[in-house]
């Protein structure tokens, strides 16, 4: 399994914003980094999200909830989830 990196998400974000328009930009880098780490979280050595689908959902949810970008948060969350699942 390959987890998405900050560079991957920023690349996807730029592609999404070019295609769909809107006011592009990172609102809070810390919240973005936090969202990206969600699929990897563990508790007492066990993954919080054991399946691929749960990891993808956690990434998508965190990107939407954290709202790290000025615009396009739901669009990038969907694109990141799809990319993660491939």
Burial of residue 57 (number of CB atoms within 10 Å: 0-12, 13-18, 19+): middle
Q: Do 38 and 58 contact (CB within 8 A), yes or no?
A: yes
Helix-then-strand count for the chain, H and E: 4, 2
Q: Model confidence over 41-62: pLDDT tens digits?
A: 999 999 999 999 999 999 999 9
Q: Model confidence over 3-28: pLDDT tens digits?
A: 999 999 999 999 999 999 999 999 99
Q: Can you point out the beta strands (E) in 2-86?
A: 42-43, 46-47
* Residue 49: per-residue pLDDT: 98
User: At 47, phi and psi to the nearest 5?
Assistant: -65, 135
């Amino acid at each position: 399994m390959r987890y998405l990196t900050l560079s991957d998400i920023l690349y996807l974000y730029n592609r999404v914003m070019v295609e769909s328009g809107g006011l592009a930009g990172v609102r809070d880098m810390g919240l973005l980094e936090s969202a990206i780490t969600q699929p990897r979280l563990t508790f007492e050595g066990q993954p919080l999200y054991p399946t691929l689908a749960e990891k993808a959902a956690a990434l998508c949810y965190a990107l939407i909830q954290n709202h790290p970008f000025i615009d396009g948060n739901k669009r990038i969350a969907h694109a990141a989830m799809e990319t993660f699942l491939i």
